[in-house]
Copies of this chain bind each other. A is one copy, B any other.
Amino acid sequence: MMMTTRKTTVSIVAKRTTNPIRDVVDRMTVQPNPDKKLIPLSIGDPTTFGNLNTPTVFMDALCKAARDPSTHGYQNSVGTPAARRAVAKHYSTPTAPLTENDVIMASGCSGALELAFKALVDEGDNVLAPCPGFALYRTIVEGIGGTCKTYPLIPELDWQADLQKMKAMADSRTKAIVVNNPSNPCGSVYSKEHLIDILKVAQELGIPVIADEIYRGLTFSGAVFHAMADLTADVPVISVGGIAKEYLVPGFRVGWILINDRHNLFANLRGALVSLSQVILGPNSLVLSALPSIMDPEPASAEDLALIAFRKHTVSTLEKNALFVTDRLSGIEGLQVIVPQGAMYVMVGINPSAGFDFKNDMDFCERLLSEESVFCLPGTCFDIPNYFRVVFCAPDEILEEACDRLKAFCARHRAGTAVASN
């Protein structure tokens, strides 16, 4: 007897939980050009090409944990005391001190964002988030039944936030301002002054800041990273971060929330985060166990020196790549590059008056993939049309090849140049 299932529909939450990047990418049905090797510059994963590897000291600590059954059991859902202490010590400053109780370990920085939004946002509430911005803010907030109102970042001002618009869109249901610094997808790093201006808005509105600082360790020379929490004693700052980008292990799924609330305005926030973390019981115990090896090595030990060299190498590689890509793409007629100061991304504008035969940024990226086998994400994935995002983690020769292909592609698709360049 075949049953008739009464309940064949999934929940509202499931229906409204969508990942804009996946939606857009899934709509891109084209295939790479089979005659050209695929160059994926789409996903923010520094491990894609094998040129950037996590330090040996971390691998050693992970192996040790794998062979030590005492690290295989349940841990506290907000993390082991040792891991929380190591993170607190690593990020503590005299102006924004942290103790282990201010650290909530989570299943990646995405898991940290989910905990933070879940703790703050009710159905009908909203948060202010950057545009262009990381798609997950919207995914999570809309999944909860809230709204993600986006404040514009101004490309002409190195992607500074439009504070007037930010302020104007806040209402009585606004629960937080999300600030992503350094920025995905822009690669921008904000000045101290700009961050203080944002904090003033938060203070006026009487709401906390959720500071997504996952790229804090990846800032290039000339720019200085300032932690949001270091710039205010008054506004509660919920910083999220993780090891994914700086230690080149996005698959490990270990991140954290740092609670900076010196006046204890959010007295019940810690309890809420602890309760919410008890549902899935926190991140992987092997990584938690190995975390102090990279976050809190013996000062001036061989491991410490190796880690300093590792970080320097990662940042200098990314900076070199950023300069190379910026330089090469700036030389392409019709593209406009906004020089990145950190992270692993650069946004490239497609000049609408350059005579390109593309319908839009989706069309640009689809044809770039199908003709040149270079895969970049269209700006639409980040809520900003007429741009595309380039991830610049690849080795020199691959970035060079990608830029060459982009150049030929753009030349071929500009009005009047199509025949000449073919």
List the interface of chain A (C-beta within 8 A of B): 1-15, 17-19, 22, 43, 45, 47-48, 50, 53-54, 59, 62-63, 66-67, 69-75, 107-108, 110-111, 114, 118-123, 125, 136, 139-140, 143-144, 172, 175-176, 203, 205-208, 234-236, 248-254, 263, 265-269, 271-273, 275-276, 278-288
Q: Show 29 A/B contacts (Cβ-Cβ < 8 Å), sorted by A.
A: A2-B234, A2-B263, A3-B203, A3-B206, A5-B265, A6-B205, A6-B206, A7-B120, A7-B176, A8-B268, A10-B272, A11-B119, A13-B118, A14-B119, A19-B275, A19-B279, A43-B74, A45-B74, A59-B66, A62-B286, A66-B66, A74-B250, A139-B279, A143-B279, A251-B288, A252-B285, A253-B282, A253-B283, A284-B286
Which residues from chain B contact A7 at a C-beta distance below 8 Å?
120, 175-176, 206-208
Question: 6 more A-B contacts (CB under 8 A) besides A11-B125, A63-B67, A111-B280?
Answer: A4-B206, A7-B120, A47-B70, A72-B251, A75-B251, A253-B283
Which residues from chain B contact A118 at a C-beta distance below 8 Å?
11, 13-14
Q: In the complex, what residue of chain B is closest to A251 when comparing beta carbons?
A: B285
Taking the full assembly, how many copies of this chain does it contain? Answer: 2
Which residues from chain B contact A271 at a C-beta distance below 8 Å?
10
Which residues from chain B contact A12 at a C-beta distance below 8 Å?
122-123
Whether A251 contacts B18 by the Cβ 8 Å rule is no
Which residues from chain B contact A2 at a C-beta distance below 8 Å?
234, 263
Which residues from chain B contact A74 at a C-beta distance below 8 Å?
43, 45, 250-251
- Docked pose: A175 CA to B45 CA in angstroms: 39
Which residues from chain B contact A19 at a C-beta distance below 8 Å?
275, 278-279
- Docked pose: A72 CA to B9 CA in angstroms: 36
Whether A203 contacts B1 by the Cβ 8 Å rule is yes
Whether B268 contacts A9 by the Cβ 8 Å rule is yes
Which residues from chain B contact A67 at a C-beta distance below 8 Å?
59, 63
Whether B284 contacts A283 by the Cβ 8 Å rule is yes
Q: In the complex, what residue of chain B is closest to A266 when comparing beta carbons?
A: B8
- Docked pose: A236 CA to B3 CA in angstroms: 9
Which residues from chain B contact A69 at a C-beta distance below 8 Å?
47, 50, 53-54, 248
Whether A11 contacts B107 by the Cβ 8 Å rule is no
Which residues from chain B contact A280 at a C-beta distance below 8 Å?
107-108, 110-111, 114, 253
- By CB atoms of chain B within 10 A, which of A18, A67, A75 has the most? A67
- Given A10-B120, A286-B286, answer yes or no on A15-B272 (Cβ-Cβ < 8 Å): yes
Which residues from chain B contact A122 at a C-beta distance below 8 Å?
11-13
Per a CB cutoff under 8 Å, which of B50, B62, B72, B120 touches A66?
B62
- Docked pose: A48 CA to B250 CA in angstroms: 30
Whether A72 contacts B252 by the Cβ 8 Å rule is yes
Which residues from chain B contact A235 at a C-beta distance below 8 Å?
3
- Docked pose: A125 CA to B205 CA in angstroms: 36
- Docked pose: A114 CA to B140 CA in angstroms: 15
Which residues from chain B contact A70 at a C-beta distance below 8 Å?
47, 50
**Chain B proximity of A143: nearest CB distance (Å):** 7
- By CB atoms of chain B within 10 A, which of A73, A120, A286 has the most? A73
Which residues from chain B contact A285 at a C-beta distance below 8 Å?
251-253
- By CB atoms of chain B within 10 A, which of A13, A59, A283 has the most? A13
Which residues from chain B contact A1 at a C-beta distance below 8 Å?
203, 234
- Docked pose: A285 CA to B288 CA in angstroms: 14
**Chain B proximity of A44: nearest CB distance (Å):** 8
Per a CB cutoff under 8 Å, which of B10, B248, B251 touches A269?
B10
- Docked pose: A271 CA to B4 CA in angstroms: 21
